[in-house]
Structure 1
Amino acid sequence: MDIAIKPPLTFLTGGGEMAASILAFDWSNSPVGPIDKWPSSLRTAINMVLNSRFPMFLCWGPEFISFHNDAYTPLLGQKHALGRSFRDIWAEAWETVGPIAERAFAGEGSYFEDLPIVMERHGSLEQTCFSFSYSPVRAESGEVAGILCTVFETTGKVEAIAKLQEKEEALVSLNARLEQQAAAHAADRDRLWKISQDVMAAASLATGRFLTVNPAFTETFGWSSEEATSVPFMDLVYPADKDDVAQKMQVLASGVPLVRYETRVLHKDGSHRWASWSIVPEGELLYGVARDITAEKQQAETLRQTEDALRQAQKMEAVGQLTGGLAHDFNNMLAGVVGHLELMKLKLQLGQLGDFEQRIDAAVAVTDRAASLTHRLLAFSRRQALDPKPVDANSLIASMASLIQGTVGPGIKVRTELQPSLWITLCDANQLESALLNLAINARDAMPGGGTLTIETGNTIIGEAHKRLYPELKPGEYVTVTVTDDGTGMTPDVVARAFDPFYTTKPLGQGTGLGLSMVYGFVKQSGGHITIRSEPGRGAIVHFKLPRHLAEARPTGAANADPNSMPPKGKGTVMIVDDEEQVRSVLIEVLQLQGYTVLEAADAPGALRILDQCSRLDLLVTDIGLPNGMNGRQLAELVRTHWSTVPVLLITGYAETLVTKNSILPPGMHLLTKPFTMNAFAEKVASLTGHG
């Protein structure tokens, strides 16, 4: 339980229930005096005790006035210790612990392990064991003013060890007796064979049959000794396991034993049992011991099904959160677009056309926000269309320095620590820019009073030894980018959900909750790894790794086309392939206005029929997601078997085939992500046809 602490009692901060008890206690008549008069040495010692996760208590002054933390409370049983003398609290144990405490108060520290102590804490005396250390605590004058004790109850451990020793001694004694009996009486070996609860068997590799089985074999699998030894033992193996058992027989034939080998054995009633075998080969003979683990397997399967159900429930909760946030944001955006369109329609009827351009600009701005939202969703789902190229992260960050500084404002200092000779990485430079801007914005919001934002780069190698830390990363070389702020930080539960879509701690209307999820999706889709480390009041560190690109290619930064000016008109033949008629008609009209001859088709087969009669083609523009059995990427590759040098412009809002490959497009192929401005489209066409 956390309580609000005001100066000068801040030494109680973080102390839980015991801090509240100390605050509520009447210390005026106590030997330690009023709480606001306590010396700094006492306050420091109490703060250390309260904030420790180990059981601790503090005795202060010659009266041994006691303080303790929440972790120590269970050791007291029914006793109350706060403010009482340590002598009175443990009077029944003072004969044992008193001299130790007196020595500590005299300045001599001590440590005891598993010390037996007779104590009363639940209404009666009981034998206990504790491991503890007593340390003197000195006042400002240098004199010992108190005793600090860190203590663990080890009663259970000591009792368990004693019982284990008794069992081990009993087992040693039993083994000795069995050896004596086995040496003197062969019949005793038969008795052990018969009374064992584990399955025991001997078999011949030469004949492939059991030579003998013990009664536990019959109790476990239902087959009598005569039935088990009259057929090849492979006949008793569960059919689906026979190939694996045959391979294990070859291992045994080479002289290598099997330990805890799990397989299924047919039961006489038609069912099967799981058995864990340990088998030792001796020449042509096999000696095996097995334990029935069917119940354990069933429990494990039940647990797996329960975990699957839990994961499914968590997925559905995440989907609900995602769709709810998506519907909320899109409804707001659609309301803006519809409102402007309806108002324009009304004003058109009234002949009031004066503000049409402003309203069109406003509607376009809303659609741009919707496009940004879908891009972030695709980034989180790792289904966005990436255009990976070799990227020099140092150059990209350096080129963004002024943009980032302008984004975070003058109250925040932006530092860069860029490693010289940084490796080249393969990623979408525009998405890396967007990720860094999102992280800068988050850092800015976490530092409302100003602070420092640090961006670092580095090279790192992930080897097999790192598999436990990064199980999803392939061993290899990676470029690292780290963004650090010294802002308000995050609690552990916020860190755990930071990458969830639409999760945000910002006030309503001040954040969509998609910034970090977009960064997460981009890094994961690029074959990398991302982590967040943060504590309240200690800022946040976002660290991600991107694979090193080893092929020789010219690194690039993000290339942002200027959509504000129409390119010069050009001529040539362009094929437009898109199954969305509205999109296709707009693209055709834009190109015709520029002076191009435009061919059109709604799918790949239609495009191929038209191109079969075409003598000239200067550019193929195709959507990737086409119907009727052939996508745009396949169409482009087929067209280039006839026109090997024709440039191709792939347009898409969802390109899983490209995303999963995450590779550089072949020379002459380019990518443009929907939605895009018509100016950007016309400019791209002009550059690819040589008219830009």
Structure 2
Amino acid sequence: MLAAVFTLVFVAIRAALVPVMPDQPGFSILIPAILLAGLSGGLFTVSLTIILCLAAMWGLSEAFNLTPTVPGAFIAPALIFVLIGATCGVVGASLRYCVRKLYKTHARLQASIAKEHSTSDELRAMINQVSSGIIRTTTDGVILEANEQFARMISRPMDQIIGHNVIGFTHPDDRALTTQRLSDYVTPGQNDWQFEKRYISPDGRTIHVLLDVRSLRHPDGTAYGFVCIVVDVTTARKTEAALSQSRHDFYSVADTIPVMMWLSDNDNINRFVNRAYFEFAGKPVDQVSTQEWKDLLHPDDYATTVNQFVVGLKSRQAFQLQARYRRHDGKYRWVRSILQPRYDRDGVQKGIIGTAFDVTDAVEAATRIQESEARFRAIADSAPAIIWMVDTDGNTEFGNRRFRSTFGGNPPHHLISAIRGMMAPEDLPAFDQTLEDATREERRFSYLGPVHHAAFGTRWLHTEAAPRYDLQGRLAGFTGVSLDVTESQRAERELKRSNERLEERVSAALAEKAAAEAELVRAHRLEAVGRLTGGVAHDFNNLLTVIMGGLEIIRKTDDPARRQKMAEAALAAARRGERLTGQLLAFSRRQTLRPASIDLNALIREGEPLLHKAVGEGMSLQFKLKRGLAPTLVDAAKFEAALINLLVNARDASPSDAQICVETADYVVHPPAAPMLALNLPASDATPASAIHPSDLPPGRYVRVTVADNGSGMTDDVLKRVFEPFFTTKGVGHGTGLGLSQVYGFTRQSGGSISIQSSPDTGTRMNLFLPWHMFSPCPAEATPDTEAEPRPVPDATTEAAADTAPKRLLMVEDDPGVAEVTATFLRSEGFDVDLARNATEALACLEHNHYEFLLSDILMPGGISGIELARRVETQWPDMHIILSSGFPGEVETLRLSAWTFLPKPYTPAQLRTLLAHKKDQTP
């Protein structure tokens, strides 16, 4: 089609030029047609166009007679046309081919460019979507490109990343490492590497990253940059740290638990064992981890245990084993193992997790319990009594052989109901009440009564039952023993009748025995009183001999010096009699005491010089006083006298170079133990063996004062009589025998007691126990128990000058001798004295006269004592000064809380003068 079109067009142009060119073929006009055919259709189109052009030109020549008549005139131009046209056609076809190829190449180039753009966008999208950061940097670390994940990773916008050096984002501790790595991997041959570092976010958060770096190099191998894949491993590192800590905690807990723990694989090789496992095996870790547990099995347990292990594994469930295993010391121990198969996520068994407990003690205890139970059953079955156990509802839990045989070999399910069924109706209320009270109060109960059984008739049963408790301390039931006491009841009735017959004879015998004992006691008392009165009479006879002889000489002699000497001897004898009376009163615990709160340690330290003098120069006196205070409530003077008495006795019983020691210590007397001792507690533990106090010392806290010597000691006979008055082991004239009696009376009157530890040739320890009395170390205030010291008395002449008016005094005294002597002395002192023999006469005198002073005896005839008289006088005449006197000092105890003054007999004129002078000072 292209060839025909091009041929027609250019042939038409030649036809149009015929007038211009009438005699030429004009093939040159057709050359563009050949060229266009080559450009449009290629060589085939060129060949067809040449043929068509030749045919068209031949016809045109014929039609217009364009070819001259010369032969060959058409052929020559035609050949030239063919040659030129072919050349132009080839050129046009070649040009056409080049243009088409160029077009296709352009199209492919455009497609490549479009695909490149698409691929670049996709690659950018993919890079931005990956979970890792990707950056491209220079060899100095300046970031040229980065994806969005990297920006999110370090919490910075892209404009603060591109063009900035990675060193600025790096943790300060990792910057030197980063710089070193950048310089190391620029060198040829180092293309890929990994390392871990930390980045810092703007908010100070640390990001752990793993860098996978690839070097970018020119063809000559020179590095011009790096491409890095940045993986955030912060969570992984935290997880690893937490996992490491968790593993450490697990190992710590596993090693702390006193239970063997292990984890093994399918080959039964231990992959983990704890410290308890190590300690049991006694081997290092590397040996334990590859050890076969079967090697430790006891030979007798090997087959059974291995078989149970195989069966347990096949069950794919947790199972237990108990066998004997050899410990590292060679001893076999009972071990209970709990094993659990472990599986992976796919359910494939990976091994075993196991724990093991050393249950040797429990197994041995269970064995002992079984043996104990067997012994208990054997004992219970051999006992001739009915032994039973019931719960709180009365259900039978145990019965011995006698119990089973009693109920026909088939013990009742509910024992209480069975027993009630065998009792008479009238006995049921008492039995039910006893059982109810015992259950409610959880206590033992006892019941004696008859029961009736078809097999053995009516029998008397004595039942004793005790409560039984569970491990939580709750009442679990009762354990009881029932005895057939029918024969004993019959014997008891017979015995009762026999007792009734013997009662009269026994009563008579007891009365006779009581009379004999009373006579014996009275004889002992008379003997003791005889010894006491004999000693008192002996000493007082000596004193009266001196007094009577001295008075007789005074009456008969006119020599003033002799009279003075005899008067002094008589007065000294009277004072010895006063001291003897005081010692007797101390023994009888009737002496006058002035107790005060004192520290015995301080008192002993203050009196050390006096105590050393009492012992003497040749002996060694030591003091071992307790630390701190030794507080008590005693009369300090009487205590010092008692201590000196003990030291003198220790001195006299010891050799010349002896050692005497004074000790103080705390001592506690515990209350007596309960009548019923605890189970399995020996009776000897109820009273401490170290107790040294007397048995009659009340429980409480005491201060113990001990005087110890290494002298000759005492025999048992001496120890029995050592506190008796006038008993002494010293020679004649070397002791009165009242020293220890006085100490004994003082300690008992002070609320304590005394004990002696002594045996021949071992020395003696005298122990005084005085009640502990804590006090505050503050200045003591006046109390009713303390008696103020009388103030100094002015000289009699001064007193007379100050007050010339005589003071009136009413003296009430039933003893004429005492009244006469005292009245004579008082009148010589300037008092106006009236005498009354009893309280009735005194009240009559008081009704008619005024008196400033009342001096009265306490014990008087007439039914009114001196204390009752003082009460009446204090009520009616409150301004009168009252002085009470008695030769029985025990009366002073009733005067402690009163304001009256007590004057003990015997008293001297000087004591009475001082007391009255003190009362005068108090007279308004």
C-alpha separation in 1, matches of 2:634 and 2:816: 33
- 1:272: which partner in 2? none
C-alpha separation in 2, matches of 1:330 and 1:259: 67
Q: What is the CA deviation profile of residues 391-450 of structure 1, one whole-angstrom value per residue up to 9, with x for unaligned ones?
A: 454454445433333333222344444556535533334432332232222122123514
The residue identity in structure 2 corresponding to 1:631 is S
Query: Do 1:480 and 1:545's aligned partners in 2 also have CA atoms closer than 8 Å?
Result: yes
Larger Rg: 2
Residues 169 and 425 (structure 1), Cα distance of their counterparts in 2 relative to 1, 3 Å cut: closer
Query: Do 1:205 and 1:253's aligned partners in 2 also have CA atoms closer than 8 Å?
Result: no
TM-score, normalized by length of structure 1?
A: 0.54
1:611 aligns with 2:846: yes
The residue identity in structure 1 corresponding to 2:814 is D
Query: Do 1:455 and 1:482's aligned partners in 2 also have CA atoms closer than 8 Å?
Result: yes
- 2:900: which partner in 1? 669
C-alpha separation in 1, matches of 2:381 and 2:673: 45
- 1:535: which partner in 2? 759
| Aligned pair partner of 1:172 in 383, 386, 404 | 383
Question: The residue matched to 1:689 in structure 2 has which SS?
Answer: helix
C-alpha separation in 2, matches of 1:406 and 1:169: 75
Q: What is the CA deviation profile of residues 246-289 of structure 1, one whole-angstrom value per residue up to 9, with x for unaligned ones?
A: xx99989988777799xxxxxxxxxxxxxxx99999xxxxx998
The residue identity in structure 2 corresponding to 1:609 is A
1:444 aligns with 2:651: yes
C-alpha separation in 1, matches of 2:618 and 2:789: 28
The residue identity in structure 2 corresponding to 1:679 is A
Query: Do 2:601 and 2:630's aligned partners in 1 also have CA atoms closer than 8 Å?
Result: no
The residue identity in structure 1 corresponding to 2:915 is K
Question: The residue matched to 1:641 in structure 2 has which SS?
Answer: helix
Query: Do 2:791 and 2:918's aligned partners in 1 also have CA atoms closer than 8 Å?
Result: no
| Aligned pair partner of 2:536 in 320, 326, 331 | 326
- 1:499: which partner in 2? 723
C-alpha separation in 2, matches of 1:424 and 1:328: 40
Query: Do 2:794 and 2:917's aligned partners in 1 also have CA atoms closer than 8 Å?
Result: no
Query: Do 2:792 and 2:918's aligned partners in 1 also have CA atoms closer than 8 Å?
Result: no
Alignment of 1:246-265 (within 5 A): none
C-alpha separation in 1, matches of 2:858 and 2:437: 52
| Aligned pair partner of 2:829 in 583, 594, 618 | 594
The residue identity in structure 2 corresponding to 1:384 is Q
- The Cα of 1:682 is off from its aligned counterpart by 1.5
- 1:433: which partner in 2? 640
Residues 448 and 340 (structure 1), Cα distance of their counterparts in 2 relative to 1, 3 Å cut: farther
Query: Do 2:444 and 2:464's aligned partners in 1 also have CA atoms closer than 8 Å?
Result: yes
- The Cα of 1:362 is off from its aligned counterpart by 0.8
C-alpha separation in 2, matches of 1:206 and 1:177: 27
- 2:860: which partner in 1? 626
Query: Do 1:415 and 1:453's aligned partners in 2 also have CA atoms closer than 8 Å?
Result: yes
C-alpha separation in 2, matches of 1:278 and 1:313: 51
The residue identity in structure 2 corresponding to 1:529 is S
Residues 169 and 391 (structure 1), Cα distance of their counterparts in 2 relative to 1, 3 Å cut: closer
The residue identity in structure 1 corresponding to 2:863 is G
Query: Do 2:812 and 2:857's aligned partners in 1 also have CA atoms closer than 8 Å?
Result: yes
Question: The residue matched to 2:921 in structure 1 has which SS?
Answer: coil
The residue identity in structure 2 corresponding to 1:365 is A
| Aligned pair partner of 2:575 in 368, 380, 388 | 368
Query: Do 1:257 and 1:280's aligned partners in 2 also have CA atoms closer than 8 Å?
Result: yes
C-alpha separation in 2, matches of 1:306 and 1:675: 42
- The Cα of 1:534 is off from its aligned counterpart by 2.0
Residues 628 and 278 (structure 1), Cα distance of their counterparts in 2 relative to 1, 3 Å cut: farther
- 2:813: which partner in 1? 578
| Aligned pair partner of 1:402 in 609, 612, 626 | 609
- The Cα of 1:531 is off from its aligned counterpart by 1.2
- 1:519: which partner in 2? 743
Residues 314 and 383 (structure 1), Cα distance of their counterparts in 2 relative to 1, 3 Å cut: same
- 2:886: which partner in 1? 652
Percent identity (aligned): 33
- The Cα of 1:356 is off from its aligned counterpart by 0.9
C-alpha separation in 2, matches of 1:666 and 1:565: 29
Equivalenced residues, count? 451
Question: The residue matched to 2:896 in structure 1 has which SS?
Answer: coil
C-alpha separation in 2, matches of 1:529 and 1:596: 47
C-alpha separation in 2, matches of 1:650 and 1:448: 49
Query: Do 2:598 and 2:636's aligned partners in 1 also have CA atoms closer than 8 Å?
Result: yes
- The Cα of 1:674 is off from its aligned counterpart by 1.9
1:687 aligns with 2:918: yes
- The Cα of 1:334 is off from its aligned counterpart by 2.0
- 2:345: which partner in 1? none
Q: What is the CA deviation profile of residues 298-317 of structure 1, one whole-angstrom value per residue up to 9, with x for unaligned ones?
A: 79999887766655443333
Query: Do 2:724 and 2:741's aligned partners in 1 also have CA atoms closer than 8 Å?
Result: yes
The residue identity in structure 1 corresponding to 2:869 is L
Question: The residue matched to 2:875 in structure 1 has which SS?
Answer: coil
Query: Do 1:579 and 1:626's aligned partners in 2 also have CA atoms closer than 8 Å?
Result: yes
The residue identity in structure 1 corresponding to 2:533 is T
Q: What is the CA deviation profile of residues 375-405 of structure 1, one whole-angstrom value per residue up to 9, with x for unaligned ones?
A: 2112212233434444454454445433333
The residue identity in structure 2 corresponding to 1:674 is K
- 2:22: which partner in 1? none
Unmatched segments (≥5 aa) in structure 2: 1-378, 387-399, 410-422, 449-461, 467-481, 675-686, 688-692
Q: What is the CA deviation profile of residues 30-60 of structure 1, one whole-angstrom value per residue up to 9, with x for unaligned ones?
A: xxxxxxxxxxxxxxxxxxxxxxxxxxxxxxx
Unmatched segments (≥5 aa) in structure 1: 1-167, 186-200, 211-247, 262-276, 282-286
C-alpha separation in 2, matches of 1:250 and 1:622: 70
Residues 667 and 343 (structure 1), Cα distance of their counterparts in 2 relative to 1, 3 Å cut: same
TM-score, normalized by length of structure 2?
A: 0.41
Query: Do 1:563 and 1:677's aligned partners in 2 also have CA atoms closer than 8 Å?
Result: no
1:638 aligns with 2:872: yes
- The Cα of 1:206 is off from its aligned counterpart by 9.4
Alignment of 1:484-495 (within 5 A): 484-495=708-719
C-alpha separation in 2, matches of 1:666 and 1:361: 38
Question: The residue matched to 1:455 in structure 2 has which SS?
Answer: strand
C-alpha separation in 2, matches of 1:559 and 1:506: 40
Residues 183 and 376 (structure 1), Cα distance of their counterparts in 2 relative to 1, 3 Å cut: same
Query: Do 1:340 and 1:363's aligned partners in 2 also have CA atoms closer than 8 Å?
Result: yes
Q: What is the CA deviation profile of residues 211-246 of structure 1, one whole-angstrom value per residue up to 9, with x for unaligned ones?
A: xxxxxxxxxxxxxxxxxxxxxxxxxxxxxxxxxxxx
Query: Do 2:633 and 2:772's aligned partners in 1 also have CA atoms closer than 8 Å?
Result: yes
Residues 551 and 687 (structure 1), Cα distance of their counterparts in 2 relative to 1, 3 Å cut: farther
C-alpha separation in 1, matches of 2:834 and 2:595: 30
C-alpha separation in 2, matches of 1:579 and 1:504: 38
C-alpha separation in 1, matches of 2:764 and 2:787: 26
C-alpha separation in 1, matches of 2:730 and 2:851: 56
Q: What is the CA deviation profile of residues 45-93 of structure 1, one whole-angstrom value per residue up to 9, with x for unaligned ones?
A: xxxxxxxxxxxxxxxxxxxxxxxxxxxxxxxxxxxxxxxxxxxxxxxxx
C-alpha separation in 1, matches of 2:598 and 2:575: 27
C-alpha separation in 2, matches of 1:683 and 1:352: 31
- The Cα of 1:513 is off from its aligned counterpart by 1.0
Question: The residue matched to 1:464 in structure 2 has which SS?
Answer: coil
- The Cα of 1:490 is off from its aligned counterpart by 1.8
C-alpha separation in 1, matches of 2:791 and 2:580: 21
The residue identity in structure 2 corresponding to 1:325 is G
Higher relative contact order (CA 8 A, sep 6+): 1
Question: The residue matched to 2:575 in structure 1 has which SS?
Answer: helix
